[in-house]
Structure 1
Amino acid sequence: MKPYTLVNRYIFKELIPPFVINLVFFMFIFLMSEILDITDMIVNYQVNLSVFFLMIVYSMPYFLVYIIPMSVMMSILLTFLRMSADNEIVALKAGGVSLYGLIPPVLLFAACGFLITVAMAGWGMPWGKSAYEKTAMEVVRSNFNIGMSEGRFNDDFAGLTFYVNNVDMKTRELNDVLIQDSRQSQTSSTIIAPKGDLLKGNDDYTFVIRLYDGVISQVEPGRGGAHATNFKTYDIRLDIAGSGTNMGSRRKDEKEMCFSELREYIKTAENRDKRYYSVLLELHRKFSIPFACIAMGLLALPLGVMSVSARKSAGLGMGLLCFLLYYLLLSAGTVLGESGRFHPAIGLWAPNGIMGVLGLYMLVKTAKDEPVGLQSGFAFAVGRIRGFLAGRTKP
């Protein structure tokens, strides 16, 4: 077996354990924010644990699109930092293996991450997003009367906040109802009624709160006017599906579309409005974010293969800084792409281009054993900061 083949297999195998550890770690962090929302739904609507775990599973493809590139970069960085610290890189160079000879296993590993992320972005995320929304609406629909908890402000519906002092779960009668309605931008209404009923609407995803013998106080913030109106009966329609009369008519979010649906919408769109640019942006995002596995992977290789004099913490800190810079550029590109000021391809692919060029520059410099200004500058800045903090902590 050729030496290069042994080296490639060894490096590829060494990349897997840190990748799994980083994947689990980042997944745990990302899921924490989602678990809070899911837990709140469980408490409010009293759903069982099976639904809880299902909603976590449905959330995972969306997070994995961002987590996999992060894990790929960090696994490559940590692997080569360890190999540098154990003088394995020096041993490989002494055996005739150049830095360029270490690229094939890194590219293969990054390409695997790219393909998995593309699958998650193109098919996993639309499936998970659609299933999550469907499950959430089903939970609210089947347990909506439970969601009308006594003595609690409920703001689950956009522009509506309601408070019910007493609820009869059997008859669905409401007592002492307070509703803040700000669905109209120019008018804010406060509705107070001593009694009300929770009624079923025209379909399974629509409810009506019918209030009796109450008063509506309306305020117009822009004009400064206010007036009150008494009523005998007043209906407030609550649409769980968000729009339309049933769940099937709800317009798909661009994140719920697969490749073919995105391309079909772009092809048939009559107007280049905000919706058009959002869909075009999502199509490019499904490829640009997965490609970060390759761009950031090439950058992580020279960051990991550092000179003996460089600190390990400097390489790790530099890697985290580069990843933060990538997502800042990606966020800026997303905003510019959605506004239509730049083509979405520019905003979403520019961060990959910048990180890829930076990685190739550092790779060539490191292969020639030439100092890389970015690494030495960052190490110097870290050393100065640590020295400053150490001086501040002295008595």
Structure 2
Amino acid sequence: MLRIKKLDIFILKSFCMLFMGTFFICLFIFMMQFLWRYVDEMVGKGLEMTVLAQFFFYSALSLVPASLPLAILLAALITFGNFGERFELLAMKAAGISLLKIMRPLIIFICFICLVSFYFQNVIGPQAQTKLWTLLLSMKQKSPEVDIPEGVFYDEIDGYNLYVKHKDRKTGMLYDVLIYNFEKGFENAQIIKADSGRLEMTADKQHLYLHLFSGEQFENLKSQNMNQRNVPYRREAFREKHAIIEFNSDFNMVDTGIMSSQSNSKDMKMLQAGIDSMTIQNDSVGRTYYKEAMSGTYNVTASLSKEDTIKVENARLGDYNVDSLFNVATLMQKQKIISTAVSRAESAGSDWSFKSYSISQTDTSLRRHMTSWHEKLTLSLACLIFFFIGAPLGGIIRKGGLGMPVVVSVLIFIVYYIINNTGYKMARDGKWIVWMGMWTSTAILAPLGAFLTYKSNNDSVVLNADAYINWFKKVIGIRSVRHMFRKEVIIHDPDYARLPGDLRALSADCRAYAEKKALKRVPNYFRLWMNETQDLEMEGINERMEGLIEEMSNTKSIPLLMALNNYPVIAVHAHVRPFHNYWLNLLCGVVFPVGLFFYFRIWAFRIRLNKDMERIIKTNEEVIKIIETDQNK
């Protein structure tokens, strides 16, 4: 027990050190990706360090749940890759400790990380998201710093466009200044041209104080219109002029209540309450709209008087020819009927467009709340799933460090991100059921984690390309070719006196088998799936052939070795039913497309087996001749 306890401590220490490093690396990467999207909102606005520090802090808190799965995947890959590379994993398994027992302390630790991730998303995350998006909205509303460049027009001040040809950065003086004032409209622009000037901020940071020297001012006296060709204007020359421009450069925090209706600022309890209330609201509004439609828009008597309504309700539309009634009407009556119909249709269309927009907005908000509710669970569970993918995969790859594990983890995370993002968008847009879209990534990656854990625990071949190539060759019927070589050391020579008789007996059995099984004939589809007997005769023929080949491979005769390469490699079970279970074979035959595929495959293998029997007989004759020739020498 003491040894296992020390081993658990060693595994936890190895994993936790790597997990801390990978977590901060992943968090930094996600923060850079997030900040890159909003860098324009921060640059050039003179934000204080406290505001930027708050922005970085809240963005880091909100990105912790997204960073944990990738950090766990990368740490698990590196940890178990190091164990495999240093043969520590092999030593643990040699001591009788299975992979699941090795992973047991880490499974408990990852379950704790899942709870931490859920706590961040459900408690800390909503508060951080509220603060973060409040800061972003405040940054967007803050005016930029007044830093007028040289040689270009500066339009960051509302209603003004400034041009400065040269600027002295030491004294703050501006030279060859041109100002366009559009506060009264583009047609009534006020133009000021000055030789020099200075621009300063007032003490309350609410206005810009402009000092201009030696210039002229142009201004229209009337509004310009299309019929007036000559517009009077006023020209004013000045030696010194002062102007005040409204410019609020303070950072004003917006009210946090603006985020109260957003789904990312709520915990699961608030989300569920919002989902219930919006569902009830949609149902009640839908019923109300239905009653209004049936009593108003689609009611023929809605716009008629009481007497006309009684007449229309007592009349049957099928008793009248509506087209003939319209044709006998006068031109004025027809115009009135058509205009009334068009007016009612346009009114109904605009009314239902507004109602549809109202319903769609509520439905969109409802789906966003539902996706946020499911995301808190799926993102927490992703930590555990990524561990069950990374730990066994690291033991299989057996490569530590930041090379192969980083590449594999990034590829797996990209696949997860694509699947998860696709499901999220489909659920958000109403194209999929919400729970189906949000749990798609979990449903795909959880079986992968179980498969890798099972394979690694049983030391099965997973990433061996030869194993998959051989399996693929076996499925499509490609078989290997014999390569017999002369042995350097031969302990027992072949019994050349007995071998010709055994080969002739094998040829006779091959002829009898081919005639008995009628390999050239088309197999019966129904009898194929219902037959329970196994082809033990073919197994016996193959064992006898392989035994004779193994015995003759001890020969020193080169021609005999070359002849042995002509024997085929027989797939003894390919020409019979694909499964050993009777009911599984029967089900395969009932499912017609699957059964038809196996039927044609078995038929092809029966034809090939018949050719193999003929090839064995022909090769036996060649081998007998070689043996008899060598014995007569």
TM-score, length basis structure 2: 0.44
Higher strand content, 1 or 2: 1
Q: Is the 8 A contact 1:98 1:367 kept in 2?
A: yes
What is residue 176 of structure 1 aligned with on the other side?
A: 180
How far, CA to CA, are the matches of 2:464 and 2:47 in structure 1?
55
Q: Is the 8 A contact 1:64 1:117 kept in 2?
A: yes
One-letter amino acid matched to 1:253:
Q
Q: Please say if 1:304 is aligned against 2:301.
A: no
One-letter amino acid matched to 1:291:
L
How far, CA to CA, are the matches of 2:110 and 2:272 in structure 1?
27
SS in 2 for 1:364: helix
What is residue 413 of structure 2 aligned with on the other side?
A: 323
What is residue 72 of structure 1 aligned with on the other side?
A: 72
SS in 2 for 1:304: helix
What is residue 144 of structure 1 aligned with on the other side?
A: 143
How far, CA to CA, are the matches of 2:111 and 2:31 in structure 1?
25
Query: 1:43: how far off?
Result: 3.8
What is residue 374 of structure 2 aligned with on the other side?
A: 284
Q: Is the 8 A contact 1:302 1:362 kept in 2?
A: yes
Query: 1:380: how far off?
Result: 10
How far, CA to CA, are the matches of 2:460 and 2:128 in structure 1?
47
How far, CA to CA, are the matches of 2:444 and 2:400 in structure 1?
24
What is residue 385 of structure 1 aligned with on the other side?
A: none
What is residue 352 of structure 1 aligned with on the other side?
A: 442
Q: Please say if 1:105 is aligned against 2:105.
A: yes
- 1:265 alignment partner, one of 261, 274, 290: 274
Q: Please say if 1:194 is aligned against 2:193.
A: no
What are the equivalent positions in structure 2 for 1:24-35 lying under 5 Å apart?
24-35=24-35
**Unmatched runs of 5 consecutive residues or more in structure 1:** 156-160, 168-173, 180-189, 197-211, 217-244, 382-395
Query: 1:376: how far off?
Result: 3.0
- 1:275 alignment partner, one of 354, 365, 375: 365
User: 1:351/1:163 Cα in 2 relative to 1: closer, same or farther (>3 Å)?
Assistant: farther
- Percent identity of paired positions between Structure 1 and Structure 2: 18
What are the equivalent positions in structure 2 for 1:353-368 lying under 5 Å apart?
353-368=443-458
Deviations along 1:344-377, one digit per CA (max 9) or x if unpaired, are 22222221222121111111112222101xx234
Q: Is the 8 A contact 1:89 1:305 kept in 2?
A: yes
One-letter amino acid matched to 1:366:
S
What is residue 340 of structure 1 aligned with on the other side?
A: 430
How far, CA to CA, are the matches of 2:4 and 2:188 in structure 1?
79
Query: 1:64: how far off?
Result: 1.1
What is residue 232 of structure 1 aligned with on the other side?
A: none
One-letter amino acid matched to 1:367:
N
Q: Is the 8 A contact 1:80 1:304 kept in 2?
A: yes
User: 1:177/1:368 Cα in 2 relative to 1: closer, same or farther (>3 Å)?
Assistant: farther
What is residue 314 of structure 2 aligned with on the other side?
A: none
SS in 2 for 1:165: strand
How far, CA to CA, are the matches of 1:66 and 1:215 in structure 2?
58
User: 1:19/1:162 Cα in 2 relative to 1: closer, same or farther (>3 Å)?
Assistant: farther
Whichever of the two has the greater Rg, that structure is: 2
What is residue 387 of structure 1 aligned with on the other side?
A: none
One-letter amino acid matched to 1:257:
K
What is residue 165 of structure 1 aligned with on the other side?
A: 162
Query: 1:44: how far off?
Result: 3.0
How far, CA to CA, are the matches of 2:154 and 2:97 in structure 1?
67
Q: Is the 8 A contact 1:38 1:55 kept in 2?
A: no
SS in 2 for 1:44: coil
Query: 1:38: how far off?
Result: 6.3
**Unmatched runs of 5 consecutive residues or more in structure 2:** 165-177, 192-218, 225-253, 283-361, 470-633
What is residue 199 of structure 2 aligned with on the other side?
A: none
One-letter amino acid matched to 1:322:
I
How far, CA to CA, are the matches of 2:397 and 2:133 in structure 1?
51
Deviations along 1:162-197, one digit per CA (max 9) or x if unpaired, are 874379xxxxxx953689xxxxxxxxxx9676369x
How far, CA to CA, are the matches of 2:467 and 2:28 in structure 1?
30
TM-score, length basis structure 1: 0.68
User: 1:380/1:115 Cα in 2 relative to 1: closer, same or farther (>3 Å)?
Assistant: same
Deviations along 1:230-266, one digit per CA (max 9) or x if unpaired, are xxxxxxxxxxxxxxx9663565321111222211110
